Chains A and B, each alone.
Chain A
């Protein structure tokens, strides 16, 4: 019976698995959305017509250093001279490229976890191919992801829209989320699964999750929804 965040396989040898169900997912999303509205962070909830099912969506512009990869060789990219957006990885003051991103957070029933789908376009509307997309990944993440390509970023048909998107495979999500949730549970601290997960995976694909999502606000926003029974 699904009753929220439940514990499975609870033996002395294996820590409980934290599995999200769809209702929990929606509640986490709504809380995230509330904060996003307060912060003006741009997330919206896209409902599937006639159902409660849906996903979070956000678009963002990113400036990607042109010396990260072959993007500057492609037609249709806009150049504008500007310092690199991430000061910690700096070559010369080379030009950078502006890319439009669209991020979707969907729920995976089979993994009991959120999944990040995304796609990217030039300012002229040309969509990025997989190889081009790799060039927009921060070099710090690229090596790790490249070592395990099958389970990292790949292309897949969007489950609800049917269009090709990139996505971060969710098979490892429970592994790192479980550690965090277990620690939080031990401390009696409630956690927003989707927010926590997003803070980890977002930066890998250029999605910034501002600190303000978890600083206390003078409001009734509660993050209790993912507390295990």
Chain B
């Protein structure tokens, strides 16, 4: 597998950094720092540190990483907190940060695996 993921283009950066919609409160507009760490032989993202909207879901982040790493349709991406627990896909990263963040950032491990089959 290729491990030379390219640096994000401006468009890709904006996708993750994009500001929340209109009527969010200043609290909801806040972004949190996420540090992405690859597990196993999953490709390593060249940019590991991202500012992510609190309201972004785990599912949405997983999709972003999958696209970024150009994973096949039959490759599945898992995201873990605490190195061992997969948060539910509709969990917001802001909540994960509150529970598991330290030193001002949330460390998320991700790994790819063949989907069932």
Interface residues of A (CB under 8 A from B): 15, 86-88, 138, 140, 143-145, 147-152, 168-169, 172, 175-176, 179-180, 182-184, 187, 189, 191-192, 195-196, 199-200, 203, 208-209, 211, 213-215
Contacts of A196 in B (CB 8 A): 84-86
Residue from B60, B88, B95, B115 in contact with A144 in the complex, judged by beta carbons closer than 8 Å: B115
B116 touches A148 (CB 8 A): yes
Contacts of A151 in B (CB 8 A): 116-117
A147 touches B73 (CB 8 A): yes
A203 touches B84 (CB 8 A): no
A179-B57 contact in complex given A208-B88, A211-B87, C-beta closer than 8 Å: no
B116 touches A169 (CB 8 A): yes
Q: How many A-B residue pairs have CB under 8 A?
A: 104
Contacts of B82 in A (CB 8 A): 189, 214
B83 touches A184 (CB 8 A): yes
B86 touches A211 (CB 8 A): no
Contacts of B114 in A (CB 8 A): 172, 175
Contacts of A214 in B (CB 8 A): 81-82, 84-85
Task: List 9 contacting pairs A-B, 8 Å CB cutoff, sorted by A.
Answer: A145-B115, A148-B115, A148-B117, A179-B39, A182-B39, A183-B111, A195-B84, A214-B81, A215-B99
A38 to chain B, nearest CB (A): 16
Contacts of A208 in B (CB 8 A): 88
Please tell me the number of chain B residues within 8 Å of chain A, measured between CB atoms.
33
B86 touches A147 (CB 8 A): no
Residue from B78, B85, B88, B95 in contact with A176 in the complex, judged by beta carbons closer than 8 Å: B78
**B96 interfacial by beta-carbon distance below 8 Å:** yes
Residue from A172, A187, A211 in contact with B95 in the complex, judged by beta carbons closer than 8 Å: A211
> Per DSSP, are chain A's interface residues mostly helix, strand or loop, or mixed?
helix
Contacts of B87 in A (CB 8 A): 199, 211
A147-B115 contact in complex given A88-B57, A183-B109, A215-B99, C-beta closer than 8 Å: yes
Q: How far, in angstroms, from A214 to B82 measured CA to CA in the complex? A: 8
Since A138-B89, A148-B116 are in contact, a sample of 5 more A-B pairs with Cβ atoms closer than 8 Å, ordered by chain A residue number, is A87-B90, A145-B116, A151-B116, A176-B78, A214-B85
Contacts of B89 in A (CB 8 A): 88, 138, 140, 203
Residue from B42, B83, B99 in contact with A187 in the complex, judged by beta carbons closer than 8 Å: B83
Residue of B with least CB distance to A191: B84
A88 touches B116 (CB 8 A): no
B39 touches A180 (CB 8 A): yes
Residue of A with least CB distance to B42: A179
B20 to chain A, nearest CB (A): 14
B67 to chain A, nearest CB (A): 14
Q: How far, in angstroms, from A172 to B78 measured CA to CA in the complex? A: 14
**B113 interfacial by beta-carbon distance below 8 Å:** yes
Contacts of A192 in B (CB 8 A): 84
B91 touches A211 (CB 8 A): yes
Q: How far, in angstroms, from A203 to B76 measured CA to CA in the complex? A: 14
**B80 interfacial by beta-carbon distance below 8 Å:** yes
A209 touches B88 (CB 8 A): yes
A211 touches B83 (CB 8 A): no
**B104 interfacial by beta-carbon distance below 8 Å:** no
Q: How far, in angstroms, from A192 to B83 measured CA to CA in the complex? A: 11
Q: How far, in angstroms, from A176 to B109 measured CA to CA in the complex? A: 13
